[in-house]
């Protein structure tokens, strides 16, 4: 798994949330085995310039539909189209060796409260290693211990830090 370009918030930052929608024509892709109900409180991120699309070498698996709030059952934000939030591609490195690449824009600690997102990510690891035949839709993606994620950002108060905009450090 590799990072990608962050071009901005497609949803309304700290106001919208994201509903993951499986792209029908790719619903049989191994990364999507057993994936249901992907939702996270973070908004949809834009990863390419407005008016453009994913590269032709990318296979979009999941789109993110912004919702009108930060709750699982909030209404769809009809003013915002869904954008790809999870995709695969094959990348050829310098020695000519091909590698499988998976990208997902969701990933805040609170996003991973979604069992659907945990399954998607787990499946992507298996797929990336060429082990997709071992993906089991019934395997557990439950927590191994208590999971109480903080909101996005850092626990500034506990750290004794007052956050400032980058310009203030120049």
Whether 76 is in a domain gets the answer yes
What confidence score (pLDDT) does residue 2 get?
57
Whether 51 is in a domain gets the answer yes
Range of the domain at 31: 8-169
Whether 160 is in a domain gets the answer yes
Question: Cα(19)–Cα(26) distance, rounded to whole angstroms?
Answer: 17
Rounded to an integer, the average pLDDT of 102-127 is: 95
Whether 120 is in a domain gets the answer yes
Whether 66 is in a domain gets the answer yes
Whether 3 is in a domain gets the answer no
Stretch (H or E) spanning 83: strand 83-92
The model carries a pTM of: 0.86
Per-residue pLDDT band for 65 (boundaries 50, 70, 90) equals very high
Whether 162 is in a domain gets the answer yes
Give the count of domains, the chain.
1
Whether 2 is in a domain gets the answer no
């Amino acid at each position: 798994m590799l990072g990608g370009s962050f071009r901005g918030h497609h949803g309304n930052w700290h106001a919208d949330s994201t509903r993951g929608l499986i792209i029908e024509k790719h619903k049989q892709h191994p990364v999507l085995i057993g994936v249901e109900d992907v939702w996270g409180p973070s908004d949809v991120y834009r990863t390419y310039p407005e008016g453009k699309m994913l590269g032709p070498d990318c296979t979009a698996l999941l789109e993110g539909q912004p919702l009108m709030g930060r709750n699982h059952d909030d209404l769809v934000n009809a003013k915002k189209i869904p954008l790809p939030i999870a995709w695969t591609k094959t990348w050829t490195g310098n020695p000519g060796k091909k590698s499988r690449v998976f990208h997902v824009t969701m990933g805040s600690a609170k996003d991973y409260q979604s069992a659907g997102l945990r399954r998607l990510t787990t499946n992507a690891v298996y797929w990336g290693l060429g082990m997709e035949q071992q993906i089991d839709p019934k395997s557990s993606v439950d927590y191994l211990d208590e999971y109480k994620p903080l909101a996005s950002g850092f626990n500034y108060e506990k750290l004794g830090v007052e956050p400032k905009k980058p310009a203030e450090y120049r």
